[in-house]
Amino acid sequence: MCTGTTRVSPIHAAAKMLRAILTSGGYMKRFTTKYFEMSAAWIVFTLVLLAAAAPAAAQKNKKTNQANTDSPDDPKSLLSDSQLVDQTVGEALGYWQIGDVDSLHKYYADDVVVVSGLWETPLIGWPSYLKAYQAQRASAVGERMERSNTLIKVNGSSAWATYQFVYAAMIDGKIAQFQGHTTLILNKQGDHWVIVLNHSSIVDSSISNPVPVANSAQPRQH
């Protein structure tokens, strides 16, 4: 039985579908090519941005690292003048005991005046003090200096410090011990303090012969 509708054969329909697929494949190929061309352009643009941003980031990190380096890491910058004076006195005594004259000189002014506890002429200038200091060390063995009861007063770029001391050493084969007071006057030069006057006074002294060491190899007396 026939109607007014024309039926399309399955073979013809399959052929049209195949032709449509093949035709659309050309569009897909052009679309894919266009897509990859755009993607490549974006990749190049992104790499250019990254290359431009890298020096800026490096410069920022450099400034940050420089800022961290420039930050005050010297503990002395956090100390008050009174604390710096006390540290100066302690370090000067330390170098005095070990005989490091080059380091000791950093804590004394070139025109320093030194008054010892003995009845002798005051020493004027670093060379004179250095000569007396080296002569003293040549005749003393095992020098030891201890300070206590330190008082410090700062007035602008000037300061004074006074303390009690106990000095002990072997001098000319005898044990010597001195107790007394020392007063220092310091001036601030730049960012550090230097001693311009060193005055000591002895209030007690004792010198005794060393205790002889028993000779264990000596035979006993019967």
What is the C-alpha to C-alpha distance for residues 146 and 18, in angstroms, rounded to an integer?
Answer: 108
Instruction: Please indicate, yes or no, whether residues 105 and 193 belong to a single structural domain of this protein.
Output: yes
Place 210 in a pLDDT band, splitting at 50, 70 and 90. low
**Percent of the chain scored above 90 by pLDDT?**
47
pLDDT surpassing 60 at residue 21: no
Instruction: Name the residue range of residue 178's domain.
Output: 78-208
Q: Compute how many other C-beta atoms are within 10 angstroms of the C-beta atom of residue 129.
A: 21
Please give the pLDDT value at position 213: 47
Instruction: Note the pTM of the prediction, 2 decimals.
Output: 0.61
Give the total number of structural domains in the chain.
Answer: 2
Q: How far is residue 157's CA from residue 136's CA, in Å, rounded to a whole number?
A: 32
Q: Is the pLDDT of residue 36 over 70?
A: no
What are the counts of helices (DSSP H) followed by strands (DSSP E) for the chain?
4, 6
Claim to verify: residue 92 and residue 201 sit in the same structural domain:
yes
Residue 57 confidence class, pLDDT cut points 50, 70, 90: low
Using CA atoms, how far apart are residues 105 and 96, in angstroms rounded to an integer? Answer: 10
Q: What is the mean pLDDT of the chain?
A: 76
| 71 pLDDT more than 80 | no
The CATH number for 196's domain is 3.10.450.50
Give yes or no: residues 61 and 92 share one domain: no
**Statement to judge: residues 120 and 40 lie in one domain:** no
Query: How many other C-beta atoms lie within 10 A of the C-beta of residue 103?
Result: 14
Residue 31 phi, psi dihedral angles, 5° rounding: -65, -40
Q: Do 131 and 164 belong to one domain? A: yes
Q: What is the mean predicted confidence (pLDDT) over 80-84?
A: 95
* Residue 91 and residue 125 in one domain: yes
Rank 13-27, 51-65, 66-80 by mean pLDDT and report only the highest. 66-80
Quick one: pLDDT band at residue 222, thresholds 50, 70, 90? very low
Check pLDDT > 50 for residue 22: no
Residues 39 and 95 in one domain: no
Q: How far apart are CA 150 and CA 89, in angstroms?
A: 10
| pLDDT tier, 31 (very low <50, low <70, confident <90, very high otherwise) | very low
| Helix locations, the chain, DSSP H | 10-70, 81-98, 101-105, 126-139
Q: If you search the block for the tokens 């002889």, which residue do you land on? A: 212
Q: Is the pLDDT of residue 5 over 90?
A: no
Say if residue 216's pLDDT is above 70.
Answer: no
Q: Tell me, yes or no, whether 218 lies in a domain.
A: no
Residue 213 domain flag: no
Task: Please check whether residue 171 is in contact with residue 140, taking contact to mean a CB–CB distance below 8 angstroms.
Answer: yes
pLDDT for the residue numbered 3: 47
User: CB of 158 within 8 A of CB of 165?
Assistant: no
pLDDT digits (tens, 9 = 90+) for 154-200: 999 999 999 999 999 998 888 999 999 999 999 999 889 999 999 99
Q: Which residues of 200-210 are buried (b: 16+ CB within 10 A; e: fewer)?
A: beeeeeeeeee
| Structural domain ending residue among the three candidates 65, 86, 104 | 65
Which pLDDT value is given to residue 179? Answer: 95
Q: Are 136 and 126 in contact (CB under 8 A)?
A: no
Residues 58 and 82 in one domain: no
Residue 220, in any domain of the structure: no
